[in-house]
């Protein structure tokens, strides 16, 4: 995979599989650092619009992207956009 924004969803899929615990209907985008920090990625608005168009209602994204998206205008109706800063904290909250 060449797009750094695929780091977060790929890591979530691996963690979910490893723990044999499904995440449910959640989508994500974001780059992961080697220390587990979730980093900003380009084209957040386009990514969010496409996920909403495809029916995702819970989207995880880097905190900076979320701040930028909320500042630019309304989030697509029915979409819960959640800011993520650290993979470790995210995993504790999602799959225990």
pTM: 0.91
In CATH, what number is assigned to the domain containing residue 10?
A: 3.30.230.10
- Predicted confidence (pLDDT) per residue in 13-53, tens digit: 998 888 888 888 999 999 999 999 999 999 999 999 999 99
Whose CA is closest to 66, among 89, 47, 53?
47
Tell me whether residue 77 is exposed, middle or buried, using C-beta atoms within 10 angstroms of its C-beta: 0 to 12, 13 to 18, 19 or more.
exposed
As for how many domains the chain has, the answer is 1
Instruction: Please say whether the dihedral angle defined by the alpha carbons of residues 25, 12, 73 and 53, taken in this order, is positive or negative.
Output: negative
Domain that holds residue 52: 4-95
Q: How many of the other CB atoms lie within 10 Å of CB of 22? A: 10
Specify the pLDDT at position 88: 87
β 58-62/27-28 pair status: parallel
Tokens of 23: 């995440």
């Amino acid at each position: 995979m060449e797009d750094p924004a695929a780091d977060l969803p790929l890591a979530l899929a691996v963690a979910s599989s490893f723990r044999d615990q499904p995440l449910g209907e959640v989508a994500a985008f974001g780059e992961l650092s080697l220390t587990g920090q979730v980093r900003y990625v380009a084209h957040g608005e386009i990514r969010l619009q496409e996920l909403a168009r495809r029916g995702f209602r819970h989207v995880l994204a880097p905190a900076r992207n979320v701040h930028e998206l909320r500042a630019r205008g309304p989030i697509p109706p029915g979409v819960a956009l959640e800011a993520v800063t650290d993979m470790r904290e995210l995993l504790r909250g999602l799959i225990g």
